[in-house]
């Protein structure tokens, strides 16, 4: 069967499973809709958390970025994995003990202020909309190639699917759907990795194959370095980013992970604090399977791409090249008129343009793997994108319906009307996300990295100080979130919005948007760390210049950190 036929079959089967689970586990109450009733097992929650966290950026785009960036791409691996450890150990158990539905709910109650809650809602919307735009872009890329539709129509199809099971099932439906999606995405990621590793190095374990040798006895990394240098590119194992930028990006991704509202809310779905810790451990194991494999896929993909296209006759290119060329995500411009593809590091002479988001998806085709494996990767990419998109839509809808409408506007709102408001909010959110998915400001992983920067600059300080500082008050938290997110948004809008249709005028209003004008050489993806430092500085300064929280709030903070029964055990 053809790739198209296999893709249709696998997409129909997997989507039927997702929709069937959503119908079976549909939400009947606001608690079901927001936190799945609080009764999810640690193992299931670990798988759902892994699927929620490993988005299209992890599955589709990260390997592509590493493939083209080489050593510099390691910032994504270090930042995203390290950040999850930070979240699981430092924050999640305490937030679970606090027992609120959402991050704005925690901030609103901890800082005893509806203004703080409102600012937190705004921050959650900024983070979630930015993040979900990357997921919609990923869905569009997959559909555009494998279902042979435009990227725009691919985004629309993804919007309809995710909207259906997110609105119907809420967190309860999403949780069990994400368990199925994790199984699909990890199987789809690993199968071609096993095939290609064995094909190129004779070792089926990709993590070991990356350090192995080719049939001629040359180590694959040495061969890749040599080939890239000969073509005028930087050596794969050399980095070109400054140490400052590497540190800033890694820190922004780590701290942003620990402030992501759609991941944090997953720890509210388990029955006990101990279960939150267990699910964090399970999730880390499930995440590590993909993240230790991605660097190997990056190496194999870049090597296969060069050997397949470099200095080859355009008319002799295999079918996969023609298919991706039709999507507009890969293009060939015959600058010297010789009919051959010149893939070189000199931009003036280079004739091949490859969108980095296609590498993971195209890799099985380039390696000539069976059609069912190629289609399986498409199904896995959709599972990764849709699982995270659903979680983000839930954060958006719950922030609007629970934190704004229920908590701030109409406390007497009935549960039925609140549930209706949540579903209507999700509908509006997916429409907005679809627009930015069609007109993204960068590659999927790049867009997602910006969302992590926003989370680091806004939520991370407020959550950490809300748990560990009894002196932190509402004035400090509010000022810190506004200052941290504000400076980060201005910087990112200045350097990133020129790529979005209808927003090209924004960078020019804010001043020059050239790379050489980056502050201290810090890229937009890493500026969230600066925003986070500004947040801490402003929060601490303002809090010590204004009255301390009441004794009741300080006792609440102490109670969050101390395990139940500990005071009695030491005689307090």
Q: Do 239 and 345 belong together in one domain?
A: no
Pick the range with the lowest mean pLDDT from 35-49, 438-452, 546-560. 438-452
Q: Residue 262: inside a domain, yes or no?
A: yes
Could you read off the pLDDT of 469-483 as tens digits, one per residue?
999 999 999 999 999
Q: Are 301 and 197 found together in one domain?
A: yes
Picking from 161-175, 231-245, 275-289, 338-352, which range would have the lowest pLDDT averaged per residue? 161-175
Contact between 77 and 298 under an 8 Å Cβ cutoff? The reply is no
Question: Does residue 224 lie in a domain region?
Answer: yes
The Cα 42–Cα 274 span in angstroms is 9
- Is residue 269, in this structure, part of any structural domain at all? yes
Give tens-digit pLDDT for 109-155.
899 888 998 899 888 888 888 777 777 777 777 777 777 777 778 78
Q: Give the residue among 233, 235, 210, 257 at the shortest CA–CA distance from 77.
A: 257
24 vs 120: CA distance, rounded Å: 33
Report DSSP letters for 193-241, one per residue.
HHHHHHHHHS-S-HHHHTTSB-TTS-BHHHHHHHHHHHTTPPPTT---S
Domain membership of residue 284 (yes or no) is yes
Number of domains into which the chain is organized: 2
State which of 334-348, 522-536, 549-563 shows the largest mean pLDDT: 522-536
Q: Does 181 lie in the same domain as 127?
A: yes
- Helix, coil or strand: residue 410: coil
Among 442, 474, 501, residue at a domain's last position: 442
Task: Give yes or no: residues 229 and 339 share one domain.
Answer: no
Q: Report yes or no on whether pTM surpasses 0.85.
A: no
Residue 44 placed within a domain: yes
Look up tokens 């450890």; give the residue.
85
The rounded distance, in Å, linking the Cα atoms of 572 and 242 is 52
Task: Answer yes or no: is pLDDT of 487 > 90.
Answer: yes
Residues 312 and 350 in one domain: no
Higher pLDDT, 378 or 387: 378
Q: Is the dihedral of CA 463, 464, 470, 475 positive or negative?
A: negative
pLDDT(567) > 60: no
Structure tokens at 365: 């085709």
The pLDDT, as a whole number, for residue 28 is 58
Give me the pLDDT at residue 503, please: 47
Residue 103 lies in a domain: yes
296 compared with 572, residue with greater pLDDT: 296
Q: Is the pLDDT of residue 535 over 90?
A: yes
Same domain, 249 and 143: yes
Domain containing residue 349? 322-354
24 part of a folded domain = yes
Same-domain check for residues 55 and 111:
yes
Q: How confident is the model at residue 565 (pLDDT cuts 50, 70, 90)?
A: very low
CATH number at residue 398: 1.20.1730.10
Phi–psi pair at 211, nearest 5 degrees: -95, 5
Residue-wise pLDDT tens digits, 44-101: 888 888 887 777 777 877 888 888 888 888 888 888 777 777 777 777 778 777 766 6
Is 568 a residue whose pLDDT tops 60? no
Q: Which of 442, 461, 480 is the last residue of a domain?
A: 442
pLDDT at residue 572 in the model = 44
Section 322-338 average pLDDT: 84
What average pLDDT does the segment 232-253 reach? 86
My answer on whether 350 and 237 are in the same domain is no
pLDDT in tens, 390-436: 777 777 777 787 778 877 888 877 877 877 887 788 788 778 877 77
Instruction: Please state, for a pLDDT cut of 70, what percent of the chain lies above it.
Output: 89
The verdict on residue 525 lying in a domain is no
Rounded Cα distance, 58 and 418, in Å: 34
Mean of pLDDT values over 501-517: 56
pLDDT bin (cut points 50, 70, 90) of residue 569 is very low
Give the model's pLDDT for residue 31. Answer: 59
Q: Which two tokens stand for residue 137?
A: 């872009």
More confident call, 99 vs 34: 99
Are both 16 and 122 inside the same structural domain?
yes
Q: How far apart are CA 146 and CA 228, in angstroms?
A: 30
Residue 237 and residue 102 in one domain: yes
Model confidence band, residue 542 (pLDDT cutoffs 50, 70, 90): very high
Say whether both 100 and 34 belong to one domain.
yes
Burial 370-395 (b: 16+ CB within 10 A, else e): ebbbbbbbbbbbbbbbbbbbbbbbbb
Structural domain ending residue among the three candidates 333, 354, 375: 354
pLDDT for the residue 461: 93
Dump the DSSP string for 91-126: IHHHHHHHT-SSHHHHHHHHTT-HHHHHHHHHHHHH
Least confident of 77-91, 186-200, 312-326: 77-91
Looking at the structure, do residues 326 and 193 belong to the same domain, yes or no?
no
Q: Strand pairing partners for 456?
A: none
């Amino acid at each position: 069967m053809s790739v198209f036929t296999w893709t249709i079959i696998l997409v129909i089967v997997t989507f039927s499973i997702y929709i069937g689970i959503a119908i079976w586990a549909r939400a009947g109450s606001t608690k079901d809709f927001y936190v799945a009733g609080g009764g999810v097992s640690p193992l299931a929650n670990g798988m759902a958390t892994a699927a929620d966290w490993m988005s299209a950026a992890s599955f589709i785009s990260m390997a592509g970025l590493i493939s083209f960036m080489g050593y510099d791409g390691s910032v994504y691996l270090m930042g995203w994995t390290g950040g999850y450890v930070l979240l699981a150990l430092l924050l999640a158990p305490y937030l679970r003990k606090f027992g609120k539905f959402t991050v704005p709910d925690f901030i609103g109650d901890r800082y005893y202020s509806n203004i703080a809650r409102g600012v937190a809602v705004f921050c959650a919307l900024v983070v979630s909309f930015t993040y979900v735009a990357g997921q919609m872009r990923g869905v569009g890329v997959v559909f555009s190639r494998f279902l042979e539709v435009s990227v725009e129509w691919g985004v629309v199809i993804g919007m309809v699917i995710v909207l259906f099971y997110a609105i119907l099932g809420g967190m309860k439906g999403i949780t069990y759907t994400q368990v199925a999606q994790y199984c699909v995405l990890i199987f789809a990621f690993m199968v071609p990795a096993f095939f290609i590793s064995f094909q190129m190095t004779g070792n089926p374990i990709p993590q070991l194959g990356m350090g192995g040798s080719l049939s001629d006895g040359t180590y694959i990394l040495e061969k890749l370095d040599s080939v890239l240098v000969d073509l005028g590119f930087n050596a794969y194992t050399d980095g070109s980013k400054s140490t400052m930028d590497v540190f800033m990006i890694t820190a922004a991704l780590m701290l942003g992970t620990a402030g992501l509202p759609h991941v944090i809310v997953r720890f509210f779905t388990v029955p006990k604090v101990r279960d939150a810790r267990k699910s964090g451990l399970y999730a880390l194991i499930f995440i590590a399977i993909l993240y230790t494999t991605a660097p190997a896929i990056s190496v194999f993909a870049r090597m296969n791409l060069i050997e397949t296209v470099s200095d080859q006759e355009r008319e002799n290119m295999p079918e996969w090249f023609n298919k991706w060329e039709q999507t507009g995500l890969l293009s060939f411009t015959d600058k010297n008129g010789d009919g051959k593809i010149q893939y070189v590091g000199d931009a003036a002479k280079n004739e091949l343009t490859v969108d980095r988001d296609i590498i993971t998806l195209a890799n099985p085709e380039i390696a000539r793997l069976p059609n069912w494996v190629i289609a399986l990767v498409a199904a896995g990419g959709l599972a990764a994108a849709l699982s995270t998109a659903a979680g983000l839509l839930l954060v958006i809808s719950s922030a609007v319906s629970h934190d704004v409408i229920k908590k701030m506007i109409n406390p007497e709102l009935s549960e039925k009307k609140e549930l209706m408001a949540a579903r209507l909010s999700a509908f509006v959110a997916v429409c907005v996300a679809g627009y930015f998915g069609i007109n993204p400001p960068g590659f999927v992983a790049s867009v997602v990295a910006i969302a992590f920067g926003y989370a680091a600059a806004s939520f991370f300080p407020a959550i950490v100080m809300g748990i560990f500082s009894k002196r932190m008050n509402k004035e400090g938290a509010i000022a810190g979130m506004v200052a941290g997110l504000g400076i980060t948004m201005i910087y990112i809008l200045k350097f990133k919005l020129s790529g979005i249709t209808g927003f090209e005028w924004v960078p020019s209003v804010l001043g020059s948007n050239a790379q050489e004008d980056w502050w201290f050489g810090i890229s937009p993806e890493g500026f969230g760390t600066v925003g986070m430092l500004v947040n801490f500085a402003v929060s601490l300064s303002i809090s010590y210049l204004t009255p301390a929280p009441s004794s009741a709030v300080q006792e609440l903070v102490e109670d969050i950190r101390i395990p139940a029964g500990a005071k009695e055990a030491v005689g307090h």
